[in-house]
Structure 1
């Protein structure tokens, strides 16, 4: 490691990864004089990758990058399906996203309305040394919002516009180059289906759900929640066995920490999605439901949910028109409404699982991530017992789950 002019926090990056990072840095032609590594975010911001910021100083200028590094711990790699997740993200950054933007450019969509994503400086798709080096969006004044707070109406609408952009370009790709669409579809692996097909993981999900049910004394509520998490993964497997003619390439994991925002005023928000590890080809409403119910609270949803769905469909129509397509023929509103109900229980189950993980504070997330390194699945489940939650986390968790029940019920998305 001594041959690299590196400083800071890079001790847990192996020699092969450092070699690749150094190669990418040298390609920037900055005549580098100093490279400093520093951690990005806090524990719980990213459960699959180790994320570092790289500050580069040189005679020809300076540059900042963000590098996402795969875990070296074998048990953690198995539990988080690290190999699949990084392959998905590398496929998106090197093939899918550039292709979709190329289609938008050819269609004459103005640059400001084209799909935005962080510039990718390089990817190492080499097990177990995977990494992705990206543009540091903080340099463009984008920031990560508080995962414990609901996204605002303006922030949600910004993300919905991103969905309309990527989904519409997917429909255009499917129409103009169906072989390319199918190639991408086959390369992107649905991580939820992988979990649902793994007996050991499913046995752990049963225990996970049991832990969640212990929290709720209300018999009616506990009965409503029972089997929802486990059944969600069974649904993922079932859905994968059918062909959805409305499928699009989707981001797949749009919760607050996987989106960067630039807020210029109360109603002026830009957003860029930054994590594509769970990307897949699937029904468009999955992106919508996943984001809305993992990023907002019940009060905000009650005021805006139907307007959000209207806005997405309208934006999808606007984007499709650039490709000479009409939403009423591509993805009519009655089909969207039917799909929202079809996938309601599925997304509810995923949200229930994620509430246990995403609502933990930095200290708890640190303990959880440390436990993941060398634990068996059973030991990991023990580390996630609800009784060990601190009071503030338990309050957040209960509020999140009750809010999910109230919203899914109010919008007619939950089938008992």
Structure 2
């Protein structure tokens, strides 16, 4: 429920950049392994009737306090939003993605009360896809409007700079792998994933602690949630961002 501390975000973004860079390194240094073991990995969520209905059900809850004007705008793009969310968006540049890169899946080390190191865990949802989506999933999963206003651009730049430096250790030029201009274009083109994430999956994250659904016992289409009030403020902040960025 909390907004992540900046230091935690910086260290986590750097780790994500190195993880993605490692995929590009394997692609160049071990191409056969890359083709067989990495490029073949599919997302755990596949676009289909069940997940479309799940998204629709979550949207009924998530949009509950949005203005009619905003709901009308979202409704006009609902099919596009759901398909984009469920297929992970499209970018020409792809790599091995974590698939669930959020605060809950990152261990942190405290030294005298200060965050000094982080270690990502829980790689069971890895897939071959867009690195931008992995990054946006992390940012929009645990930040609010104020945090993004102050640190979003900084973290985006840190991600690309970290990747550039890591690739240099292996004599790989980032301008060949993921040029800054291409990265910026992909980033701009996929910003709406932040809204989709908050409409369709964040309700699960913001479910009241005593009311978390047991997915082993409940059918996907029967999942119901009761949301913490902080969710609606968080979602409105995302909506405000999308309007400011010309995405809504």
Tell me the TM-score normalised to structure 2 length: 0.88
* Alpha-carbon distance, 1:405 to partner: 1.6
The structure whose RCO (Cα within 8 Å, separation 6+) is larger is 2
* Alpha-carbon distance, 1:338 to partner: 0.7
Q: 1:346 to 1:228 in 2, by over 3 A?
A: farther
Q: Does 1:284 align with 2:93?
A: no
Describe how 1:102-251 pairs up with structure 2 within 5 A: 148-192=1-45, 194=46, 196=47, 198-216=48-66, 218-226=67-75, 231-235=80-84, 244-251=91-98
Q: 1:396 aligns with which of 201, 205, 230?
A: 230
Q: Which residue of 2 aligns with 1:133?
A: none
Preserved contact between residue 88 and residue 129 of structure 2 (Cα < 8 Å): no
C-alpha distance in structure 2 between counterparts of 1:400 and 1:308, whole Å: 19
- Considering only CA atoms, is the larger Rg found in Structure 1 or Structure 2? 1
* Alpha-carbon distance, 1:355 to partner: 2.0
Q: 1:206 to 1:251 in 2, by over 3 A?
A: same
Q: 2:200 aligns with which of 353, 364, 371?
A: 353
Q: 1:180 to 1:362 in 2, by over 3 A?
A: same
Q: 1:152 to 1:336 in 2, by over 3 A?
A: same
SS state at 1:191 partner: coil
Query: Structure 2: which 5+ residue stretches go unaligned?
Result: none
Aligned length: 248
* Alpha-carbon distance, 1:203 to partner: 2.4
* Alpha-carbon distance, 1:262 to partner: 1.2
* Alpha-carbon distance, 1:189 to partner: 2.0
Q: Which residue of 2 aligns with 1:379?
A: 222
Preserved contact between residue 62 and residue 232 of structure 2 (Cα < 8 Å): no
Describe how 1:307-386 pairs up with structure 2 within 5 A: 307-365=154-212, 368-369=213-214, 372-380=215-223, 383-384=224-225
Preserved contact between residue 160 and residue 312 of structure 1 (Cα < 8 Å): yes
* Alpha-carbon distance, 1:206 to partner: 1.9
* Alpha-carbon distance, 1:305 to partner: 0.8
Q: Which residue of 2 aligns with 1:261?
A: 108
C-alpha distance in structure 1 between counterparts of 2:28 and 2:131, whole Å: 16
| Greater helix content | 2
C-alpha distance in structure 1 between counterparts of 2:50 and 2:118, whole Å: 37
The range that moved more, 316-325 or 201-210, is: 201-210
Tell me the TM-score normalised to structure 1 length: 0.55
C-alpha distance in structure 1 between counterparts of 2:112 and 2:148, whole Å: 21
Preserved contact between residue 96 and residue 126 of structure 2 (Cα < 8 Å): yes
1:89-142 Cα deviation digits (max 9, x unpaired): xxxxxxxxxxxxxxxxxxxxxxxxxxxxxxxxxxxxxxxxxxxxxxxxxxxxxx
Q: 1:267 to 1:334 in 2, by over 3 A?
A: farther
Query: Structure 1: which 5+ residue stretches go unaligned?
Result: 1-147
| Greater strand content | 1
